[in-house]
Amino acid sequence: MALSSAGFSQVAPLTPVQALRLLVLRNYITYRSAWKLFLTGFLEPVFYLFSIGIGVGQLIETFEFNGQVIPYAEFVAPGMLAASAMNGAMLDSTYNVFFKLKYDKLYDQMLATPLTTSDIARGEIAWGQLRGGSYSAAFLVVMAGMGLIHSWWALLALPAALLIGFAFSAICMALTTYMKSWQDFDKVTLVQLPLFLFSATFFPVTAFDGWVRGVVECTPLYRGVVLCRELTTGALSWGSAVSVAYLLVMGLIGVVIVRRRLATLLLT
């Protein structure tokens, strides 16, 4: 803090790193007592893995992926890993952001400090990314404990999950800034459920024909599923590089939109 020539104190602006750390720390302190929310978000994909990956896996002895024959549970588990990253990011970047923006007016209060709309965008997106990443990290431990990982490439599965969380956190927060009421969240479910069911999570994309397959391959969760599945099985292809580029661009677009929308909503 410096003293101006007029005798008034001036607060030095925060660097982007300091602002990011401050906002992530604020969210951590807020949610520290609400750890049960994180537990429920983690358990959902685990239950799906047990019921479908293990249960249906008893009926399907082997499954082929990128020329490799693997158990069905090993095929489903990476899909659940990608879905857990998506769910964690979506939950925090939609419902929570909407409440802070429209009802709690938290972002208005933040702008009364040296924080900027860009700082808020980066901080909230990073927190959503970390929430999705925490689900994925715990899920990876479950996969390893169940013997569903057999490749050293799986070490990159956690960074891949963080990338998925970044992409969904950014784009979901961007879309949330356009929402007017809680009824708009019906649209979130309308998008989330088809993504979860039809992104090659439980069956290969080759089950689709023609233009339907093309549409599925262009969806963000499919790109995340492909990336996680190839890493955990070690059956890498150019699809992984495509997925990384796709998710990175998606996240960056979301960041740009969020920054502009927050400036429009809070500074005008």
Nearest CA-CA partner of 146 in 242, 241, 46: 46
Structure tokens at 253: 């677009």
Give pLDDT tens digits for 94-135.
Answer: 888 898 888 888 888 888 888 888 889 988 888 888 888 888
Give pLDDT tens digits for 48-100.
Answer: 777 776 777 677 767 777 777 788 888 888 888 898 888 888 888 888 889 88
Instruction: Tell me the mean pLDDT in the region 145-159.
Output: 86
Please answer whether residues 127 and 90 qualify as being in contact, where contact means their C-beta atoms are separated by less than 8 angstroms. no
Compute the Cα dihedral for 132, 137, 138, 140 and give only its sign.
positive
7 has a pLDDT exceeding 70: no
Q: What contacts 175, CB < 8 A, 6 or more positions away?
A: 94
- Structure confidence at residue 5 as a pLDDT band (50, 70, 90): very low
Q: What is the pLDDT of residue 32?
A: 77
